[in-house]
Amino acid sequence: MGMSIQPGYTPGALGRVVELHGTYYGLQWGFGVFFEAKVAVEMAAFLNRFDEGRDGFWTAMDSGRVEGAIVIDGLHGRDQGAHLRWFIVSEASRGSGVGGRLIRSAMTFCRARGYQRVYLWTFQGLDAARHLYEKEGFTLVESRSGKQWGVEVLEQRFECWLSAVG
């Protein structure tokens, strides 16, 4: 059938995106229940206040199964910048180009909404994701030791300034 990028919520996506995060970050980085629960609680809160005029949610679908996702939280998009969150691609789909398709969908949305800046928080060591961020124009603006993921890592903030459309 092939991978498709679907805008908007798909039934089951919340659970699957939480599962993808919990599995990957648990196995690869030793993150525990704190992180998985944080993703579940914060993503559920986001979806409960989702406004299609300012927020974006995309899933990469293969044969009806969520294999990746990305979110733009535009709640403070006009003043602080749009927040790129919960970007993940399943192990089976990594290296297929779907991550690039997801991030391009999110950035196209941000430009169409007139957001001037997009930012994200990540941590040192996620080199494949960093490559995709930098390819889309993100630059590292801050690094600090922190525990917002439940374990101590070198947290990194990336920002991308978008050109005015017109």
Confidence of residue 149 (pLDDT cuts 50, 70, 90): confident
45-53 average pLDDT score: 97
The token pair that represents 47 in the structure block: 């979806």
Instruction: For 73-118, write each residue's pLDDT tens digit.
Output: 999 999 999 999 999 999 999 989 999 999 999 999 999 999 999 9
Average pLDDT, the chain: 95
Closest-CA residue to 66 (of 133, 119, 16): 16
pLDDT tens digits along 23-38:
999 999 999 999 999 9
Q: What is the pLDDT of residue 164?
A: 52
CATH architecture of 3-117: 3-Layer(aba) Sandwich (3.40)
C-alpha–C-alpha distance, residues 90 and 55, integer Å? 23
Domain ranges within the chain, ordered by starting residue: 3-117
Q: What is the pLDDT of residue 33?
A: 96
**Residue among 110, 166, 114, 96 at smallest CA distance from 138:** 110
Instruction: Please state at what angle helix 127-135 crosses helix 98-112, rounded to 10 degrees.
Output: 40
